[in-house]
């Protein structure tokens, strides 16, 4: 069945007390909007239409950064959810499949739930996603007759009997696109808020003899975010679920509550993650890797048997091949460490290739930036880079070559050669004592004059 997504993302989010559009506030490193788009993407939609309003330019950039084919339309006035969905009409002109309406501030609706809604849509004209609420508060209620959904009643318009219903409306709806816009044309705003409610299409469909039904999901999937407090709750909920999935899949988290994951973090079975590790976007950790405490990783790949940290930072483009080692206070950026290579302490390796089994001494820096351009450093297999070496890129260190500690290397080094580039040591007998006496005398004079 052909599918298109309509994602409502026009709200300002006044309760967030922020200049940033509500749907762009991040959970697990990605905007809430992207979470909603990613869930819908599993349906392989023909079209993805994002309805923006406040901060439309920023919302457009975020949506198209995730999916460059996404269409963004603008709801210039916020007149209700039906009015918002209507803004997608032109973008879906000629599309005759099922449209699913999602919300950019409801990031946790799962792909499995959306698949279930699509299956239900094969036998019903309108499908609504509902949930049993522990505390119904002010949610709209789903009024059911067996498996038939008769109508949705907003809390403000509900009778006491209807308010006693605990099956609540998430707002997510699946409906044939042509029918959806036809029903929206009939929606009025004669209600307590004076808005055009998308939920009214259920009653309108039933009045035409069409079939409506509901699919239910866990309440946690329908968590909406309207405040900073709810954003924190959503972050905690995501992290708890993501950690639990990793543990179930065979990953060891020594202190799960201290490990923070991104939406797309991938960690293989038998990997070991020590406490206080933060994963940014785009990280893959292979089976059997070991990430030690207080490390920060983003945009990188760590292969089987590799060890990272403690207190290490892997930045985008870092690639650690099997059994490579990155130690404490080491930063790797846009660089490959080949099999068995070691950068064990206090070094920066950027825009570089480090060959198999090379050993990089403490304090080594690849001087990759000249103020305008970035330049590449190549370190060959089995090379040994002495402590406190500065490698001024572009530069090529041959296989098996060595550099002396404290060297500033500005030219290529041939394979198996030893490169020394430091000033010769000069010793001046008795000069230390004379210098100290001179300094003490100067200090004493300064104190007398004050």
Task: Provide the annotated active-site residues.
Answer: 345
* Measured distance CA(113)–CA(220) in Å, rounded: 12
Q: Is residue 217 within 8 Å of 170, Cβ to Cβ? A: yes
CB count in 10 Å sphere of residue 390? 16
Contact 281, 267 (CB under 8 A): no
What CA–CA distances, in Å, run from 302 to 264, 306, 328, 350, 442?
15, 6, 16, 16, 57
Q: What are the backbone angles phi and psi of residue 377, rounded to the nearest 5°?
A: -115, 130
∠ at Cα 279 (278, 285), nearest 5°? 125
Question: For residue 141, what are the CA distances in angstroms to 102, 136, 160, 216, 217?
Answer: 18, 9, 11, 13, 15
């Amino acid at each position: 069945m052909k599918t298109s997504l309509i994602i409502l993302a026009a709200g300002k989010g006044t309760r967030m007390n922020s200049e940033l559009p509500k749907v762009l506030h991040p959970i697990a490193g990605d905007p809430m909007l992207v979470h909603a788009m990613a869930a819908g993407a599993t349906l392989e939609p023909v079209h993805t239409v994002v309805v923006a309003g406040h901060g439309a330019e920023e919302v457009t950039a975020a949506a198209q950064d995730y999916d460059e084919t996404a269409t963004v339309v603008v709801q210039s006035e916020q007149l209700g959810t039906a009015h918002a969905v209507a803004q997608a009409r032109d973008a879906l002109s000629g599309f005759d499949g099922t449209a699913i309406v999602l919300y950019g501030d409801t990031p946790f609706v799962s792909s499995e739930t959306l698949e279930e809604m699509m299956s239900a849509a094969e036998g019903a004209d309108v499908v609504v996603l509902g949930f049993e609420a522990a505390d119904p508060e002010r949610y709209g209620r789903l009024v059911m007759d067996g498996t038939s959904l008769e109508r949705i009643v907003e809390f403000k318009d509900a009778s006491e009997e209807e308010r006693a219903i605990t099956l609540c409306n998430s707002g997510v709806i699946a409906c044939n696109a042509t029918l959806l816009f036809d029903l929206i044309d009939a929606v009025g705003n004669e209600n307590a808020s004076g808005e055009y409610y998308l939920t009214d299409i259920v009653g309108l469909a039933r009045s035409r003899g069409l079939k409506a039904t509901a699919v239910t999901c866990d309440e946690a999937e329908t968590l909406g975010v309207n405040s900073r407090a709810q954003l924190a709750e959503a972050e905690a909920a995501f992290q708890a679920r993501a950690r639990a999935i990793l543990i179930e899949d065979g990953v060891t988290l020594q202190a799960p509550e201290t490990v923070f994951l991104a939406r797309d973090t991938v960690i293989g079975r038998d990997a070991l993650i020590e406490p206080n590790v933060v994963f940014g976007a785009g990280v893959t950790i292979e089976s059997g890797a070991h990430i030690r405490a207080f490390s920060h990783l983003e945009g990188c790949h760590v292969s089987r048997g590799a060890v990272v940290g403690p207190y290490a930072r892997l930045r985008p483009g870092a690639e650690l091949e099997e059994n490579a080692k990155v130690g404490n206070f080491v930063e790797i950026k846009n660089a490959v460490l080949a099999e068995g290579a070691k950068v064990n302490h206090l070094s920066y390796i950027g825009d570089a290739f480090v060959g198999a089994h090379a050993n990089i001494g403490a304090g080594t820096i690849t001087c990759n930036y000249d103020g305008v351009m970035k330049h590449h450093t190549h370190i060959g297999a089995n090379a040994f880079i002495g402590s406190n070496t500065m490698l001024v890129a572009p530069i090529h260190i041959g296989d098996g070559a060595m550099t002396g500690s404290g060297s500033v290397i500005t030219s290529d080094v041939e394979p198996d050669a030893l490169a020394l580039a430091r000033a010769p040591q000069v010793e001046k007998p008795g000069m230390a004592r004379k210098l100290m006496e001179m300094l003490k005398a100067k200090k004493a004079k300064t104190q007398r004059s004050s």
